[in-house]
A and B are shown apart, each in its own frame.
Chain A
Amino acid sequence: MYERDPETLWRRVGAGVVLLPPGAAAPLPLGAFAARVWQLLSSPTNARSIRDTLMVEGSLTGEAGTRELDRVLTLSSR
């Protein structure tokens, strides 16, 4: 299961999001794909559910998309 780290500070910026996870040296600006993942993490969920939702929406395609999803999940959740 994944969920937002409650200690991570964040703000929406247009379609993107800026995160400041605990311990990070500087804020992380993330694009629209990551912002959608962040939105999906507003309640505890599993990776498969997130992946399925993104695939239905057409924003997750191919190997590169899966790698990006894994990266964002590592950055933004616990």
Chain B
Amino acid sequence: MSRHRLSGFLLAAIEDESLPATEQQVASAIGLQRATMERVLTLDRLMLSAVERLTEAGLPHRLLKGCAHAHLLYPDPSLRPYVDVDILVPSESFASAVAALETVGVTRVLPELRADFDRRFGKGATLRAPHGGAVDLHRTFVAGPFAMWIDASSLFDHFVSLTVGDMEVLALATEERCLHACFHAAVSDLEPALISLRDVVQAASAPALDLDRLLRIGGQWRALSVIAKAVTTAWSSLEPEGEPPLARWARSFEPSAKERRVLRAYEATQHRWAHQAVAGIRAVSGVRSRIAYATAIVAPSRRAMAWRGRSAEHRLGRVQNPLVGDPQADETGDPPTQ
């Protein structure tokens, strides 16, 4: 229940009597949801500090996922728990944003792979708060090839706002938010939490969603296969009532061989980061940029290497054969936010 972040839906099902429960089970469900919401509120406070600091520093930003989805996609934000704060900043502001956020007490976990990697190729970086919680600062939605194909600068062209506490916070526009939900469900995690699939259902069913605009952006980002995979997986897993136009489109979508090959880089069961990194090399435009990207992957800076406590030889050997090991997996075993 906790892994899939369904404590809100569990309690809602008990409340509307669609799920029979004993008194003890009701008490357990309330206890779980209370603890979850206490954590969420602490994260919201961290988010507001971060947003306030970025605003003071004059850095554009957009709230992503958790808190934004909770307020914008769900009828009651209590239905949508989250475990960190996700904020998107423009590529050119990434280093400034890290520096600004470090003044509110969060600290970057992993050093940059090589100078300028974050701005040019990275997905983002995780900054941890001393008493729990973290800010995932994003440059784009995912690592690998799509990090090069997503037009991250266009994500700042439009926005919607939400109010958290007494502060107005900017989030992605409706279609971009749906695209992010699709990316997260389809390629971020090998086995997405059910709440991530629910996000896709909620986003795809939003009355304000402009399907033509969504598919136009998805096509420009070479991400139609991502949208189709996320939506078909969400509908087949959760079997929600109704089939909005996006779900009908997804059901009839046939990915090309090339699109299937790109998706496979994100579907590796082991050493996922290495597969994505290698697939990313092909997606980088320009010989010089491609060399810079590959160099960062194969031979990171001494600082990045020292943090991970691994020798360059060890790293090189593993990257040359992605099937042998995952040189970039962080302490959670997941591809790093880097």
Q: Which A positions have Cβ atoms within 8 angstroms of B? A: 6-14, 16, 18-20, 26-27, 29
Contacts and interface: CB of A to CB of B under 8 A. Distances in A.
B165 A9 contact: yes
Contacts of A9: 41, 44-45, 164-165
Interface in B34-63: 34, 37-38, 40-42, 44-45
Given A9-B41, A20-B42, A27-B41, A14 B33 contact: yes
Given A7-B166, A9-B165, A20-B45, A14 B15 contact: yes
B37 A13 contact: yes
**A contact face: mostly helix, strand, loop, or mixed:** strand
Interface in B186-225: none
Interface in B158-175: 164-166
Interface in B46-83: 76-78
B247 interface: no
Contacts of B76: 12
Interface in B1-54: 11, 15, 29-30, 33-34, 37-38, 40-42, 44-45
A47 B296 CA distance: 64
Contact of A7 (B37, B78, B165): B165
Contacts of A27: 37-38, 41-42
The CB with the most chain B CB atoms within 10 A, among A7, A16, A20, is that of: A20
A11 B11 contact: no
Nearest to A17: B37
B165 A6 contact: yes
A20 B44 contact: yes
Contacts of A11: 37, 40-41, 77-78
Nearest to B76: A12
Contacts of A19: 41
Nearest to B32: A13
A13 B11 contact: yes
B98 to A, nearest CB: 25
Contacts of A12: 76, 78
A19 B40 CA distance: 11
The CB with the most chain B CB atoms within 10 A, among A8, A9, A19, A29, is that of: A9
